[in-house]
Amino acid sequence: MNNLPRTLHEARVWLRSGRITSVELTEAYLDRIQQAEPQVHAYLHVAADVALAQARLADERRAAGEDTLVLGVPLAIKDIINVLGMPATAASRILEGFMPPYEATVVRKLREAGAVFLGKTNTDEFAMGWSTENSAYGATHNPWALDRVPGGSSGGSAAAVAAGEAIAALGTDTGGSVRQPASWTNTVGMRPTYGRVSRYGVIAFASSLDQVGPITRDVRDNAILLEAIAGHDPHDSTTFPDPVPPYSQMLEGGVKGLRLGLPREYLTEDMHPGVREATQEAVRVLRDLGAVVEEVSLPYTDYGMPVYYLIATAEASANLARYDGVRYGFSAGAPELQENYKLTRGRGFGPEVKRRILLGAYALSAGYYDAYYLKAQKVRTLIRADFDAVFQRVDALIAPVAPIPPFRIGEAPIDPVALYLLDVLTLPSALAGVPGISVPAGFVEEDGEQLPVGVQFIGRPLDEATLYRIAYAFERATGFGERTPIDALL
pTM: 0.97
In a domain, 393, yes or no: no
pLDDT of residue 175: 97
pLDDT score recorded for residue 268: 83
Number of structural domains in the chain: 1
Question: Does some domain include residue 401?
Answer: no
Q: Is residue 453 part of a domain?
A: no
pLDDT at 143: 97
Cβ–Cβ contacts within 10 Å for residue 148, how many? 22
List b or e across 313-343, with b for residues whose CB sees 16 or more CB atoms inside 10 angstroms.
Answer: bbbbbbbbeebbbeebbbbeeeeeeeebbeb
Active site residues: 78, 153, 177
Residue 490: what pLDDT? 47
Q: Strands 74-78, 43-46: parallel, antiparallel or unpaired by DSSP?
A: unpaired
pLDDT value at position 418? 75
Range of the domain at 71: 8-261+482-489
CATH number at residue 116: 3.90.1300.10
Confirm whether 472 is domain-assigned: no
pLDDT in tens, the chain (490 residues): 567 899 999 999 999 999 999 999 999 999 999 999 999 999 999 999 999 999 999 999 999 999 999 999 999 999 999 999 999 999 999 999 999 999 999 999 999 999 999 999 999 999 999 999 999 999 999 999 999 999 999 999 999 999 999 999 999 999 999 999 999 999 999 999 999 999 999 999 999 999 999 999 999 999 999 999 999 999 999 999 999 999 999 999 999 999 999 999 999 888 999 999 999 999 999 999 999 999 999 999 999 999 999 999 999 999 999 999 998 899 999 999 999 999 999 999 999 999 999 999 999 998 899 999 999 999 999 999 999 999 999 999 999 999 999 999 999 877 777 777 889 999 999 999 999 999 999 999 988 899 999 999 999 999 999 999 999 999 999 999 998 885 545 4
Collect all residues with Cβ–Cβ distance below 8 Å to 338 and sequence separation of at least 6: none
Contact between residue 309 and residue 128 where contact means Cβ atoms under 8 Å apart: no
CA distance 332 to 347: 8
**Would 16 be classed as within a structural domain?**
yes
Residue 112 lies in a domain: yes
In a domain, 148, yes or no: yes
Q: Would 390 be classed as within a structural domain?
A: no
Give the pLDDT of residue 486: 58
Within 13 Å of residue 408, how many CA atoms lie on the same side as its CB? 6
